[in-house]
Structure 1
């Protein structure tokens, strides 16, 4: 657990650096696309914007995600079994019990968020509470508590907000290039302007794809670790395995989930149709493989 937490601290720094580099490269070439020297003006703006996005994700990202998910914090005396499970597992992990939220949706799912164990929250859907028995619910909560203890929550929160930021930036730039760049390009002579224009267009198209691939890769990696850590915490791998079976068998999509937040959940809440690119673009590893690994631990 301590090795995973330490690795995630370095991963956080690396992710900020990678996304800053991506946004800076994009901003430079799009700036040059509009006017010679425009890249040198756009570059510091992009770096500042990336820093502001990272700070926002660190200090307020959890509140943004919880609000998007329409999650409400449990009141005193509400869901005593869930509260007991969270508090017991927090003691086992040696961390502060996270805040508990409920999403009033019948699709079974859950996620954890926050910047560190002292500022963490766990959100579960009404469907999860209604459809899982206690051992299955313990397995899911232990999985999410492992994300908290391993500091996966900070990494994924950062990735979620930064990927959303990249998507927003590229969308604005693409619209600007389509509807506002023509007259500016007319004054650019020679092949250099054409090359810069081509690079700018390619970057605007590829940047959100690359950012998404990073998000999906990080998400898939962390799920296996949280499954194993959660099973060790409860000392009952079949509980989580059974929960994953029930969650995957429920075909109802989670209405409040979207592509930006899907990777936070214990299982893909969107129930996308399978494609031949699933290995690259899936937010989660295959449920069958996760269950197989849990059964091998028993």
Structure 2
């Protein structure tokens, strides 16, 4: 028998095209923002000069602070979201490690459990990623559905989605800061000065969800991925944590609209059933290995992300 293994080397997971697009987009935003935010009476030359000064500053700030912020995500999440980090011998952690290996990841991520009805992955790259699963999901989903959810989150890791989205937000904030908007009006400043890039970032986020679904389905099946999404969608009423982070969640506000970070359940189900993205996931066929590796074979320290530092 054989199992499917994703060919990590053929995944289109480079964040360089996204970064280059952000640099160009920041330049366009600077030119536009300098003009519309200049006081009446200041001429085009002054506005253009202001924009020119930001051609280097904004991409530099966006890149540096974006990477710094991504590097701090794990510690902030553990502190703020009630996450319990699992040891490497925990069965759930072992399952994550095995799926990470099927994805061709070279290091094993941190694994945590939180009390909230959601799951996510964060980190600048695969070497410092954290995969978090909500205990309500572990209690309500079947083993195969939990595996599909884990595969989805690892799909974000393998595709460098956290870095793409982190840099996108950092570039936008850097542009707003450069043009003199305070932190309290950053959100509205982004819409005023970078409305086109705001819509592009949201569209990028929705597309990355489709790809993560495809990875989860490739590691299990499209039926299991659909079933997991349906149970998550039809879960209990949003709690305080879910409402606070609703903008970034599957069941968040404006789900499926151009203002949403996630497609609707119907859109995701249709994409999985039609294999729109699934058939484009590069696969290898390898000898079958058990989903849960034997507990008697502990992972090597150098393979575990949090023991490498």
Fold similarity call, TM over 0.5: yes
Question: CA separation of 1:208/1:66 partners in 2, compared to 1, >3 Å: closer, same or farther?
Answer: farther
Per-residue CA deviations over 1:230-257 (Å, capped at 9, x if unaligned) read: 21123x2222211100111125335346
- Measured in 2, the distance between the counterparts of 1:252 and 1:79 equals 33
Tell me the residue number matched to 1:237: 222
- Measured in 2, the distance between the counterparts of 1:93 and 1:60 equals 26
Quote the RMSD (CA, aligned, Å): 3.7
Tell me the residue number matched to 2:132: 123
Task: Indicate whether 1:220 and 2:229 are aligned.
Answer: no
What secondary structure, in the 3-state scheme, does the structure 2 residue paired with 1:172 have? coil
Q: How many residues align?
A: 263
- Measured in 1, the distance between the counterparts of 2:101 and 2:202 equals 31
Counterpart mapping for 1:1-298 below 5 A: 1-6=8-13, 8-23=15-30, 25-27=32-34, 29-31=36-38, 33=40, 35-36=42-43, 38-39=46-47, 40-41=49-50, 43-45=52-54, 47-64=56-73, 67=76, 70-71=80-81, 74-77=84-87, 80-95=90-105, 96-105=107-116, 108-165=117-174, 172=181, 206-234=192-220, 236-253=221-238, 255-256=240-241, 262-263=247-248, 265=249, 267-268=250-251, 270=252, 272=253, 278-296=256-274
Cα offset for 1:208? 4.5
Contact 2:202-2:261 within 8 A present in 1 as well: yes
Q: Which moved more, 1:211-220 or 1:157-166?
A: 157-166
- Measured in 1, the distance between the counterparts of 2:247 and 2:55 equals 26
- Measured in 2, the distance between the counterparts of 1:260 and 1:163 equals 19
Greater share of helix residues, 1 or 2? Answer: 1
Unaligned runs of 5+ in 1: 177-202
Contact 2:145-2:228 within 8 A present in 1 as well: yes
Q: Which moved more, 1:1-10 or 1:284-293?
A: 1-10
TM-score, normalised by the number of residues in structure 2 = 0.69
Unaligned runs of 5+ in 2: 1-7, 279-309
